């Protein structure tokens, strides 16, 4: 909880008004040249407070991060607990950091999963005399390994992270449904789902996905698995379209993350 003195709010309000005044256009005056007395009649209180809150919360949030040495993984949840004119404000900022992860004996459970897979006649690296095993067997082995990791590791993912991803997935799904001319109700009916069961399904999938992402990143750190520039260069050189290649280079961090994850998966499969 952050308390903001009314004196600070007054100062922020004046700055917010000045910003809106610069954008204001009134007949007879050029943009940015509207006198304050006239601007006060055209700038709505709601717009002023929205501008004030956005800038002030952003500033306070950055100050909190610096002061507390926080490293959030998603945008914060902000609640204006108290925001009355002429009084101190109270702002509640909820920040989500990387969760604590206890990997457990992940090497042991992965080896056990591979032994189980071998007995089930699933392809295992180094155990296959026939080089032409189907790709689906590799996927089955990977699923066995990832399931073993999920069962062994101890990790709690924040509800805020889950909620944000569920909302994102729902928004995307509803957009796609609308594009094909269906209503949400008809779509759910065709899938024999309710909104509650759909959200529950998304929640379970999202929890497992995020847990695995954190677990794999933790293993990569523990095993010192890195992506070198040569790895990225090898990837980029295979992109024949020059425009796409330039865009990929500009997003090197994204591709480095993908390559590091793949290196981690390859390492686990090789155990």
How is the chain split into domains, by residue range?
A: 2-94, 101-270
| pLDDT greater than 70 at residue 134 | no
Per-residue pLDDT, averaged over 67-92, amounts to 85
pLDDT tens-place string over residues 140-166? 888 889 999 999 999 999 998 899 899
Please check whether the two domains, 2-94 and 101-270, share a CATH topology: no
Q: Which one of 1.10.3120.10, 3.40.50.2300, 1.10.10.10, 2.30.42.10 gives the CATH number of domain 101-270?
A: 1.10.3120.10
Structural contact between residues 137 and 123, judged by C-beta atoms closer than 8 angstroms: yes
Cβ neighbourhood burial of 67 (10 Å; 0-12, 13-18, 19+): exposed
Cα–Cα dist 174/227, whole Å:
37
Q: How confident is the model at residue 124 (pLDDT cuts 50, 70, 90)?
A: low
Reported as a single tens digit per residue, the pLDDT across 185-215 is 999 999 999 999 999 999 999 999 999 999 9
Q: Tell me what pLDDT residue 258 has.
A: 92
| pTM (two decimals) | 0.70
Mean pLDDT of 66-71: 86
Q: What is the topology classification, in CATH, of domain 2-94?
A: Alpha-Beta Plaits (3.30.70)
């Amino acid at each position: 909880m952050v308390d903001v003195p009314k004196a600070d709010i007054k100062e922020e309000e004046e700055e917010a008004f000045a910003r809106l005044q610069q954008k204001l256009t009134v007949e007879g005056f050029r943009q940015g040249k509207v006198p304050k007395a006239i601007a006060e009649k055209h700038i709505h209180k709601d717009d002023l407070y929205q501008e004030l809150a956005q800038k002030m919360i952003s500033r306070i949030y950055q100050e909190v991060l610096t002061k507390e040495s926080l490293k959030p993984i998603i945008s914060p949840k902000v609640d204006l607990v108290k925001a009355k004119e002429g009084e101190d404000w109270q702002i509640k900022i909820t920040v989500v950091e990387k969760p604590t992860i206890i990997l457990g004996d992940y090497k042991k459970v992965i080896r056990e999963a591979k032994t189980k897979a071998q007995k089930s006649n699933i392809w295992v690296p180094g155990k296959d005399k026939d080089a032409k095993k189907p790709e689906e067997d590799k996927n089955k082995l990977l699923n066995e390994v990832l399931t073993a990791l999920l069962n062994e590791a101890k990790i709690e993912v924040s509800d805020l992270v889950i909620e944000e991803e569920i909302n994102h997935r729902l928004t995307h799904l509803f957009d796609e449904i609308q594009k094909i001319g269906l209503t949400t109700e008809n779509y759910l009916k065709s899938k024999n789902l309710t909104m509650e069961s759909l959200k529950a399904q998304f929640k379970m999938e999202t929890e497992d996905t995020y847990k695995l992402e954190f677990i794999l990143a933790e293993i990569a750190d523990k095993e010192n698995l890195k992506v070198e520039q040569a790895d990225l260069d090898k990837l980029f050189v295979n992109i024949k379209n020059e425009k796409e290649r330039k865009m990929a280079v500009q997003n090197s961090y994204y591709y480095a993350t993908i390559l590091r994850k793949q290196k981690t998966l390859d390492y686990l499969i090789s155990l």
